[in-house]
Structure 1
């Protein structure tokens, strides 16, 4: 498997790492995803899709907070990826982040995995 780092970006409370795992892009947001930091996740997700990597795994294991703006970024990426025959998988959500998805019902529209390894194996 190709495990090279494709890129990373950081601003204040959020750092985003992107790496390739074969034909899948693994996107790892680290920190707090909210209105002020949403573009730091949106941009690499959209870049992956634009480059033809439409199977995205978002490793949420290091995501400490996600508000509605962050949720909308992920929903938007899901729609774009699915329009190109791909999808967005979420992995390793912490309880505080998982709760946002449960409350809004967004957990029903994503494929959610307990771990990154499980998402990559799917």
Structure 2
């Protein structure tokens, strides 16, 4: 998987940077993750899993908003990663995004980290 950014002029509200760090795929969504942009995160998550990378780290430091569609993309990736012996780690969530995970209870099913560095150390 090469480092890159996904997104286009028709969906400028979300970009996703993708890179490898050791045995992890690190995905950094920047902007708003919602019904209209969720596919831009789902595709690289699935690509990493298809390539055999089962430890996914999502750096949420640039994620300004996440709705239920975005949450479902992350939950779907978690199910696939765990079925393959891995998992999805979420790092550095902004308070407004962390609140969505708190309200829905989804925070209990992900491994959460305060920083990207902490997520990569584990």
Indicate whether the TM-score tops 0.5.
yes
CA contact (8 A) 1:64 1:96 kept: yes
Aligned to 2:121: 121
CA deviations 1:47-93 (Å, max 9, x no partner) are 00000111000000000000000000000000000110110000000
Aligned to 1:106: 106
Secondary structure of residue in 1 paired with 2:3: strand
Flag structure 1 segments of 5+ consecutive residues without an equivalent: none
Aligned to 1:24: 24
State the 1:7 CA deviation.
2.6
Runs (4+) of structure 1 exceeding 6 A deviation are none
State the 1:5 CA deviation.
4.6
Flag structure 2 segments of 5+ consecutive residues without an equivalent: none
- State how far apart, in whole Å, the 2-side matches of 1:75 and 1:7 are: 23
Secondary structure of residue in 1 paired with 2:36: coil
Secondary structure of residue in 2 paired with 1:57: strand
Secondary structure of residue in 2 paired with 1:85: coil
- State how far apart, in whole Å, the 2-side matches of 1:91 and 1:5 are: 21
State the 1:8 CA deviation.
1.8
Aligned to 1:13: 13
CA contact (8 A) 1:5 1:17 kept: no
CA deviations 1:15-59 (Å, max 9, x no partner) are 000000011000000000000000000000000000011100000
The alignment's C-alpha RMSD in Å is 1.1
